[in-house]
Structure formats: C-alpha cells, structure tokens
Amino acid sequence: MDKLRIHGNVPLNGEISISGAKNAALPILAATLLSPGTIHIRNIPHLQDISTMLSLLGQTGVKLTLDERGNVQADASAVVSWHAPYELVRTMRASILVLGPLLSRFGAADVSLPGGCAIGSRPVEQHLKGLQAMGAKIQVENGDIRARCRGRLRGASIAMEMVTVTGTENLMMAATLAEGQTILHNAAREPEIVDLANFLIAMGAKIHGAGSSTITIEGIKELAGCSHQIMPDRIETGTYLAAAAITRGRIRLNNTQPALLEAVLLKLSEAGASIETGSDWISLDMHGKRPQAVSLATAPYPAFPTDMQAQMMALNTIAEGTSTITETIFENRFMHVQELQRMGADITLKGSTALCKGVESLHGAPIMATDLRASASLVLAALAAVGETCIDRIYHIDRGYECIEEKLSQLGARIQRATM
C-alpha cells in the first residue's frame, strides 16, 4: 500500500497548472450514455474515480478511446448492459450518476447502492423520488436499485426536499430525453452542474436556469454527439492555494477560474494572503508571514464549500489566533481532527463545530487518511510541520488529486511516494 513521506517546514514557491474538475468530469462521462453519437471530451483528469467511471461505462458497452493528454472519445451507440455492479459502485458514490441516463435512454437501469468516502450519509432518495415523479417504477432490494419505465419518461415538476448536487445532475440528465417539460425546484447551483448543462446543451438538450435554484428542461427524442472541455477543478485550486498559505509561500496557479472560488479567496485574504487574479490564473503570496485564524461555516454554493473545510482547518492549526469551523453539509466530516491532533494541533469538537487554537508549529508524525478531502488536509499539515510525516492510505488522495506529489515537488515540497 502506498504512503506519502513529507519533510515539512518548507515554503512553497513557483507555478503549476490545475487539472480538469473531477466533479464535473464524472457526471459528464455518465451523460455519454444518453447519446448514440460520438462524443469527444477534453481535459479529463487522471484519477482513480475517473478510471472507475470509465470501467463502469466500458462494462455497459460504451466504446472508449483515451489519450495521454486527458482526452476521451466515447461511443455509446451499442450499449449492451444496464447494470452497474457492486464491485465497481462500492468504491465511488458518483456511480449513481449512470442511473438517470440509462433509465431515460433505455427504459431500464440496475444500479447497486453506492459506496465511497465514509464522510456521512448521502441519501439517494431524492434521485429515486424524482425519477418516480417522471413515471419510473423503482424497487430497492438486496442493495440494488432496479428502475424501469415503459416508453419515455414524462416531464414533471420536482421539488427536491434537500439541495443535492448528484440528485440535481441525475434528474437533469434523465429529463433531457423525457416527454415534455421538467422543472427542478431547489436545485443545486454548483459550477459543475453548469458545466454538465453546457455539455448536454452541446448535445442538443434544451436546458434553462442551470446555476440557479430552478432548472427547466424541455425533453427531446434524441441527443447527438459533441465536443466539450471539462472546467478546471476549483477544489484542487483551493487546496494548492491553502498549501501555499500554510507554508508561508508564494505560488501562481494557471488554467483555473477565479470566479468559481470567491468564498475561498475571501477567507484566504482574511488569513493574510495577498491574492491577485486574471482571467485564468490566481497568485497568492504570504510574504513569509504566519496566517491569521479565520472562522467559517460550510454551505451549498456559492457559500464556502464543504470540500475545502478540512484544508482550512489545517491552515488554522498553525494560524495566529482562535477560530471556529462549522460543518453543515455532512455529519461525519471531522475525521481528520484526530490525525491533526497527533501532529500537535489544538482542536476541540463540539457537535458540528470545531474550535481551533493556533499553535506555533506542528510536528511530523505517522498519520492515516480517512477520506479524500481529509487526506488533502493532512498533506497540507505535513507540508508545514517540523520533521517527517508519513501518511498512510493515500489511495483516498488518488481519487481526487492528479499527480499531487509531482505538482508539490514542482513547488519545492520535499515529498515522496513510497510503496510498503
């Protein structure tokens, strides 16, 4: 099993490019099932979750061609299976995203209930209720979702009881081939949903309101092939910015979109960072100074993202002052706290809020990653710590960060992957 060894206390300095967004690429790859035409997708990141989705698509019969530049060609004209088996789905919750496309185009889908990170409940009820409102017959038995419909799905007005990103994506994809109009109320507003909508529109779909809380889809009979480039990863961007801030460094990130990170950039500015932006780049400079503690609460976009909570907590561990971080999205997303405490962090948990008193420095220690974003926070803490840190179970990191040790090495980090 691979580990990361990091010798910390070195300011990051330099520039790197940001990869395509995993959370945009996964639903877009699932959406290739909606069309019999040839689809070209650029800027796909090389990640474990992407490999899992490609394997899942390949198992259904989608013909896939990949190149070394992150481009994928997909041909779903000869799909032979509507089954997403447990051995693939168990490793990635986003596998549920094939449910809507398979059901809408073929009238059938058998998808195992998803697995993935253990950061708390991510119920699929909103997906299933929405599809049932569109005329699907759904049974859940023995850990599998069995969905069927005769003919086309029917457009419906769907009021989701909670804001759900994957639920919004699944229902939006299903509605593109439904008969009539579908309106999604209380829809998620994340930029990745807008990227998916733009992809579907390029295929011929009629979608209005993506990026707002109400999305309207006019169903059509068939979607065509298209070409699309995946948006840059805003969470990868935020993670590297936080890495520079925690190490008192100075970096420039290229191929990104500053407008997608306003809440994160505001908090990093509060922490004392000097930030400049262009149309597709962001620079951050701490001027060698220790960060200032910043308090925050996570909330759906455009508020502060839950996927950056752990990284900001790592920053606060060595910041000057005391901060509070409140997690409102997932009920079990503080699993990194115990590992940070092993490195000398002063953190107290009170329900969904963490009270963090900044310390002068962290110290290296053997620690263990528990989920994707928690693992990123441990890498950040290790970069700032005095001495060597060994991070175990880094397969979590590989699910969401492309070539993380290579990129950090380009910025001057002393980091090495080791196989034990």
Confidence grade of residue 119 (pLDDT, cut at 50, 70, 90): very low
Mean local confidence (pLDDT), 270-293: 98
Q: Which two tokens stand for residue 287?
A: 């001027």
Catalytic residue list: 117
Percent of the chain with pLDDT over 70: 98
Using an 8 Å Cβ cutoff, are 295 and 304 in contact?
no
Q: What is the mean pLDDT of the chain?
A: 94
pLDDT tens-digit readout, 172-189 = 999 999 999 999 999 999
Q: Is the pLDDT of residue 146 over 60?
A: yes
Q: Is the pLDDT of residue 160 over 70?
A: yes
* pTM listed for this prediction: 0.95
Question: Please, are residues 170 and 182 in contact by the beta-carbon 8 Å criterion?
Answer: no
- pLDDT per residue as tens digits for the range 334-365: 989 999 999 999 999 999 999 999 999 999 99
Phi–psi pair at 36, nearest 5 degrees: -85, -5
CA dist 57 → 19, 52, 79, 118, 143 (Å): 22, 9, 9, 24, 20
